Structure 1
Amino acid sequence: MAEVAIVSSAFGAGSIWRDGHAAWFGATKRSGACAFEVRRELMHDADAHPDALRALGTALAGSGLWPVWSTPDTLYADDGALNEMQLRHAVECGRALGARFVKLQLGGFAGEAHAARLAAILEELGVKGRAEASAPRVVVENGQLEQGGKLAQFTALFRALRAAGEDKLIGMTFDIGNWQWTGEAPLMAAVALAPNVEYIHCKAVVGEGARRFACAPAADDPLCRAALARLPSDVPRGIEFPFDEPRVEEDAARYVAWLASA
């Protein structure tokens, strides 16, 4: 059975803005999930201060959950340079929260991994290597934009890191649904990137073009099941689709059970 995380947005962005992340820790625990993904874009600035994040992390741990810190910050700037300031800030926030993973967007990676500099920063921050209880693991996610959402960028990134002898320097969050925004084939991406995947976001997609929306996969959804079969079975899986508002807790429990065994 895989560990399952619930991404805060599954409870509705409006609900998170109104009630705060902590209001949903109880429902997450009752659903059978192991983890909760805190999202920077759904927080007021004061709530993202290190002292506030430490308090939030303490509440999460008290609920019996481990956290993921998710930020829209990017590992690479638009010009392809390593985005050192955003990386440092993301790690500092994740450490304050007590996160197992610190998840960034890839951004403008253009072929140069800056492996030596990236390794030095992660070593300095004490987060080099796989996720441990004492230090968060940095992972990059495929996003919904062309920049930071193309398969070629990710294969080039991990190829460059391997060539530098740093193939395990960072990991990947593989978002099954996001590939469809950028016109990529999720199953092809799963085969190519499986060795680097350490966390999975699961969602189905409805609509076309820019008018696409995340939705819950059907029980027999062929894409999610096929993608999960090609990805590592021993990494956490995150629910990133909206629950039905009138029956949030029932939905959460049902989908946690489904995703844990899918």
Structure 2
Amino acid sequence: MQYILNTWIFVDRVLNGESQVAFLDDANELGADGVEVRYEYFTDRATEATAIRVKAANLGLTINLSVPDEVFVQGQVNQKLDEYFNFAKQLGVTKIKFNLGDFTQYTGDLAHDLLIPAGLTVNIENDQTVISGHSAPILEFLAAAQGAQVPVGYVYDIGNWAVMGEDATETARLLAPYVDYIHLKNMQGAENAVTTDLNVGKLDWHQVLDILPKDIDIAIEFPITETQHIAQQLALVKAYKGDF
């Protein structure tokens, strides 16, 4: 398993014009195994992709890609998927993540319509929308993909379940057979605001990790302003997993 830093951690620096390329140095110095870059944070995709691929190789870091788009749009496979897959190849990505989208209206042949490039792990994540933020359509899609032998996994995002009003531990039990990757954060209050510390909030991330597969990658995914605090959060997760 690997410990990953999602670049949402560095959102303040992104808003100040800093490239995601720089965050690879932070991840390396902090002892993370990789970085999950966000598609929406790129300003010069071609140049930055090359720089990230080269730097990641030099530092021995894994690169994953988060794309804020859907696999299914109005019941059809998203025609932009190939564009995203090609960009993932430029980056040297290991995993790419999408939202599910409108699978409930899809009536096609998954094995024919959803072609996954060799060497790339494709995952879907529970988001905060009605069509793809609840467990039922996600389970339906993952079972259908498995039945069609389409290799798609699932990113378990603990925080989004709170927003959607579903129990995080129950959904962990339901979705555990499909989980390939975990996004950790915590939430508080009726408004489900993201906290700045995993141990502050209403979600029991320890219990969730106990339920989910033990050897899969974990990403920390919430804004953190201080480098020392990122190190502390990473240490919390590593310690619970017995890697400290």
Q: What value does the CA root-mean-square deviation take over the aligned residues?
A: 2.1
Indicate the residue corresponding to 1:181 in structure 2: 163
- The within-5 A match list for 1:1-262 is 2-11=1-10, 13-17=11-15, 18-44=17-43, 47-49=44-46, 51-77=47-73, 79-83=74-78, 85-110=79-104, 112=106, 114-119=109-114, 121-122=115-116, 126-127=117-118, 135-164=119-148, 166=149, 169-209=151-191, 212-218=193-199, 223-243=204-224, 245=225, 248-262=226-240
Distance 2:195 2:88 in 1: 26
Residues 220 and 82 of structure 1: CA distance in aligned 2, closer, same or farther (over 3 Å): closer
Q: Any idea what SS the aligned residue of 1:75 has?
A: strand
What is the deviation of 1:29?
0.8
Residues 215 and 148 of structure 1: CA distance in aligned 2, closer, same or farther (over 3 Å): farther
Distance 2:163 2:203 in 1: 18
Distance 2:216 2:183 in 1: 11
What is the deviation of 1:261?
3.4
Distance 1:214 1:105 in 2: 23
| TM-score under structure 2 length normalisation | 0.89
Q: Any idea what SS the aligned residue of 1:241 has?
A: coil
Residues 82, 114 of structure 1: 8 Å contact kept? no
Gaps of 5+ in 2: none
What is the deviation of 1:222?
5.9
Distance 1:214 1:147 in 2: 26
Q: Any idea what SS the aligned residue of 1:215 has?
A: coil
What is the deviation of 1:213?
2.6
Aligned length: 238
What is the deviation of 1:162?
3.4
What is the deviation of 1:95?
1.0
Residues 168, 203 of structure 2: 8 Å contact kept? no
Gaps of 5+ in 1: 128-134
What is the deviation of 1:94?
0.9
Distance 2:109 2:70 in 1: 14
Residues 117 and 215 of structure 1: CA distance in aligned 2, closer, same or farther (over 3 Å): farther
